[in-house]
Structure 1
């Protein structure tokens, strides 16, 4: 069994309204989630402050779905690291495929956000992954390696301890498709190999790598049983207490097996 503590993140994306968000947080707080798994929830920006208050004392960590890399200034619509820290945010997502491919974020921007968050004392879930045409061209490992190298450029080995990598095959997000367990493990093992080249084997072995492609209660245990898969970054299933709890418990079952 790996000594890495599993981590399961819930990315709510642009979903739920205030009452629903409050009810979901309350349900998770009362769900008796296992403490052998690190749990992070990422509501939409308007609900972060309220969520921070609800989560006090629960052991559940609070994450933001995005952040800007400048400290302050004339950047209409953006939110800084210090603003997030002010309201109790501990984690941020960077490089999510929807930010890259829908919003148009570049590798340079992803790196700037990652470094700014780490410099501010936040922890980061750095997302990487290939699109369907890249997968069909057998470019999965090359795409992941490039996004890792860009995303972690300038990140010290010391700061790396506050980074989690989320592998999200873009073709599997929200489509109901899932990479086979074998394909997911192969991609994760390759990512760990890239980390060993960028840093060293010890740093690579310590890195937690989440799977982020349509992970559900029905497939979570099999995915998490793989030696290089250390939890999941969950989308749709994170919006239901029962489903999210089942995924977290699957991670806990692997951790204690």
Structure 2
């Protein structure tokens, strides 16, 4: 079973900073035994090509883009297409992050169109879903996130679904003001996701205030196949630490199973 451990840098890092991070990451991976752990990094669009150049020929790290339009080309000022991010080296595309939904008007329909576009061009969609604190407090988290995923993945074939990653990122748990979620309160949402999608998609990830202190416990939650990490992985050494934790956790689970 592949365990996906990745990080999105959001609107951070210049090209030179991204290159330095990537070189440090690759050097740090030498000699490390990650087993079934699959690292992925998602730089800003300005650094995609530069990071791809450093990763060229090294298949250990999957490169992603933070966004892409659903059309292949056209009069979409300021946007980038899936063919463009693929040409820059991306093999994965993050879609539907709550910040995109809140600040840039993305909705279930545009997210659905983007998932389809990413699949159409042979890349991996990383579909982000998550509920607000109000939804959580009302006890509607499971039905809300399952509904989000269902609308985004509507009409896809079984073969297409098998290439999709879903990242559950509760809005109340992400960002600088986010509150770390405990395994107990994540058990029900992941159980609901697994019942609907766990046997059909490539993996179910968790993201939201992930840190070295809670990474192992999060990976031990039933049905969690990986972690989508923010600021705790924005320095290469921090990311390497989290990769080690993931590899050790999975190895321990294998030894005790």
Q: TM-score range by the shorter chain?
A: over 0.9
Q: Deviations over 1:86-120 (max 9, x none)?
A: 12210000111111112120100000000000011
Give, in angstroms, the shift of residue 185 of structure 1: 2.6
**Aligned residue for 2:155?**
154
Q: Is the 8 A contact 1:5 1:255 kept in 2?
A: no
Give, in angstroms, the shift of residue 24 of structure 1: 0.8
Structure 2: distance between partners of 1:101 and 1:176? 16
Give, in angstroms, the shift of residue 176 of structure 1: 4.4
**Aligned residue for 1:181?**
183
For structure 1, the residue ranges without an aligned partner over 5 or more in a row are 197-201
Higher RCO, Cα 8 Å, sep 6+: 1
Q: Secondary structure at the match of 2:46?
A: helix
**Aligned residue for 2:127?**
126
Structure 2: distance between partners of 1:246 and 1:186? 28
**Aligned residue for 1:30?**
27
For structure 2, the residue ranges without an aligned partner over 5 or more in a row are 253-257
Q: Deviations over 1:102-150 (max 9, x none)?
A: 2120100000000000011000110101011111111111210110111
Give, in angstroms, the shift of residue 30 of structure 1: 0.8
Number of residue pairs matched by the alignment:
247
Structure 2: distance between partners of 1:18 and 1:57? 20
Give, in angstroms, the shift of residue 35 of structure 1: 4.7
1:211 matched to 2:206? The reply is yes
Structure 1: distance between partners of 2:56 and 2:102? 34
Q: Is the 8 A contact 1:37 1:248 kept in 2?
A: yes
Structure 2: distance between partners of 1:45 and 1:240? 18
Structure 1: distance between partners of 2:133 and 2:115? 25
Give, in angstroms, the shift of residue 186 of structure 1: 2.2
Correspondent of 1:20 among 3, 17, 24: 17
**Aligned residue for 1:245?**
240
Q: Is the 8 A contact 1:10 1:233 kept in 2?
A: yes
**TM-score, with normalisation over the residues of structure 1?**
0.92
Structure 2: distance between partners of 1:210 and 1:231? 4
RMSD: 1.4
Q: Is the 8 A contact 1:185 1:229 kept in 2?
A: no
Q: Is the 8 A contact 2:130 2:169 kept in 1?
A: yes
Q: Is the 8 A contact 1:71 1:81 kept in 2?
A: yes
Structure 2: distance between partners of 1:167 and 1:96? 10
Structure 2: distance between partners of 1:176 and 1:116? 31
Give, in angstroms, the shift of residue 158 of structure 1: 0.2
Structure 2: distance between partners of 1:217 and 1:243? 8
Structure 2: distance between partners of 1:57 and 1:120? 21
**Aligned residue for 2:89?**
88
Structure 2: distance between partners of 1:152 and 1:141? 17
**TM-score, with normalisation over the residues of structure 2?**
0.92
Structure 2: distance between partners of 1:195 and 1:84? 27
